[in-house]
Chains A and B, each alone.
Chain A
Amino acid sequence: DTAVSQTPKYLVTQMGNDKSIKCEQNLGHDTMYWYKQDSKKFLKIMFSYNNKELIINETVPNRFSPKSPDKAHLNLHINSLELGDSAVYFCASSQDQGYSDEQYFGPGTRLTVT
């Protein structure tokens, strides 16, 4: 059983399209995250939800909208895709929001915008 799963694993789409990435965790964790790994390989936090409530919202374009229907799911919807959105997106979860709470990552979704 995969602890944190993401779908799809690969996503190739054209500029201007709208796409969604889904994430599910079966660890019973309260907190979930979205990270973006850009071409320079840095992993940067985008959003975090705790018990379905948005708690971290970094400087991310409004075209990116996270949605958490329940504690186990955190989806990422991207409108009007741009070339610069090409990256690997990782979902993660942790038991809580404490600094020592280990984060468990999904396998990533490689998004390519052409």
Chain B
Amino acid sequence: DQQVKQNSPSLSVQEGRISILNCDYTNSMFDYFLWYKKYPAEGPTFLISISSIKDKNEDGRFTVFLNKSAKHLSLHIVPSQPGDSAVYFCAAVKFSGGYNKLIFGAGTRLAVHP
């Protein structure tokens, strides 16, 4: 069962415009969420996170919004740059068996073109 869903496998955006990547989750017990960015032939790297006690977290060009009632979060990148072209993974922290573990979505491939 997919507890974290990224329903758009790909997204194409023009340079300078806003990129919006979406993520839905099913488990209301998740209380911390992260976005990771992955370039080809590299491992994922942490981008930004948000706690469930907040509805927004901003870091430079990147902002994550959390709507707990809708079990939905989104990553906004503005302005988008060609170097942002990568796969973006949404992840939720699940507390299970006394330990925390990350539950990842399948990723969204973002292409930023000039």
Contacts and interface: CB of A to CB of B under 8 A. Distances in A.
Contact of B104 (A44, A48, A106, A107): A44
A103 B102 contact: yes
Given A43-B89, A56-B101, A107 B42 contact: yes
A24 B98 CA distance: 25
Interface residues of A, number: 23
A107 B107 contact: no
B81 interface: no
A45 B101 contact: yes
A56 B106 contact: no
B46 A42 contact: no
Interface stretch (A60-68, A70-78, A92-100): A92-100
Which secondary structure dominates where chain B touches chain A?
A: strand
Contact of A98 (B91, B100, B104, B106): B100
Contact of A56 (B31, B34, B91, B97): B97
B101 A48 contact: yes
B45 A42 contact: no
A81 to B, nearest CB: 23
Interface in A1-38: 4
Interface string A72-114: 0000000000000000001010000111101111111000000
Interface string B38-79: 000111111001010000000000000000000000000000
Given A48-B101, A100-B32, A42 B106 contact: yes
Contact of A105 (B2, B34, B44, B100): B44
Interface of A: 4, 40-45, 48, 55-56, 90, 92, 97-100, 102-108
Interface of B: 2, 31-32, 34, 36, 41-46, 49, 51, 87, 89, 91, 93, 95, 97-102, 104-107
7 contacts: A45-B101, A97-B99, A99-B32, A99-B93, A104-B45, A107-B42, A107-B43
